[in-house]
Amino acid sequence: MTTAVATAPVRTARSRWSGFGPLLRIETTVWLRDFGSVFFGILFPSVILLGVGFAIPGMRDPITDAPPDSLWYGVSAIATFLPTVLAMSVGTLAVMSLPVTFATFRDKGVLRRLSTTPMRPQSLIVVHLVINVVTTLVGAALALVVAQLAFGIVRPTQLGVVALAFVLGMLSMFSLGMLLSAVVNKPSTANAVGSLVYFPLLFLAGLWTPGPIMPDFIRQIGQFSPMGAAAQAMDTGWFGEGFPLLQVVVMVVWTAVLLPLAARLFRWT
């Protein structure tokens, strides 16, 4: 009798997640049919790198007018752009794509209808987080390969710091994306709000003023944004020495604050 009572909740929990695999395959197939998601998630970072590297004169030349003790002395200008592009690859899906997806589900009543089936509605959230995280990793990996083949990017001086900064950047920016996903009701609203957040983040991360040409006041402000902190931490890990403690703490704080808040505010209808 005791055994039967103890195993029943386990079986129920397992049955609620039993359709996760098929749901993941279906949602992945639907996602792959959307050219915009595939382009901005996987190809956009590489396209930006190639466009900047070949269209702007001097981007492939080493930087010689910076102080000899700076992070970027002797490094090609396009190399200084890579950490920003990697941070951007995370932010594009986290802030622009994920909120639109969940706003669409909420607007069409998908989450409400799913809650009446044996499948847990939370599974749809997990599925799209998995899809977006994997897409981010694929897009970032492709950008690294393209950068190496096209420009011969120098290897990071501290690979562990770069990896840590990228992971924390993913956590903080997807936490921000989940907060937006929790509160927006319409796809059009999600697009508008996402754009209002995304483009200032790009500016603070240095998309238009990367590395050595970023003004000090922008750098000081940018290090407190999730995307700017990720880009600056990867800068340090790629070209410098030491540990970017402030930027790491900033990304941890963003995650610790925004993720529980998103879970608290998330609405199914």
DSSP letter for each residue of 101-126: HHHHHHHHTHHHHHTTSSS-THHHHH
| pLDDT, tens only, 185-201 | 899 999 999 999 999 99
| pLDDT, tens only, 38-87 | 898 999 999 999 999 999 888 898 888 777 777 778 888 899 999 999 99
Q: How many CB atoms lie within 10 A of CB 12?
A: 10
Q: What is the pTM of this model?
A: 0.87
In whole angstroms, give the CA distance from residue 27 to residue 19: 12
Q: pLDDT-derived band of residue 235, with 50, 70 and 90 as boundaries? A: very high
Beta bridge partners of 62: 76
Taking each helix axis from N to C terminus, what angle separates 159-183 and 245-265, rounded to the nearest 10 degrees?
30
The radius of gyration of the chain's CA atoms, rounded to the nearest angstrom, is 21
Nearest 5°: the CA angle 62, 81, 253 is 135
In whole angstroms, give the CA distance from residue 211 to residue 213: 6
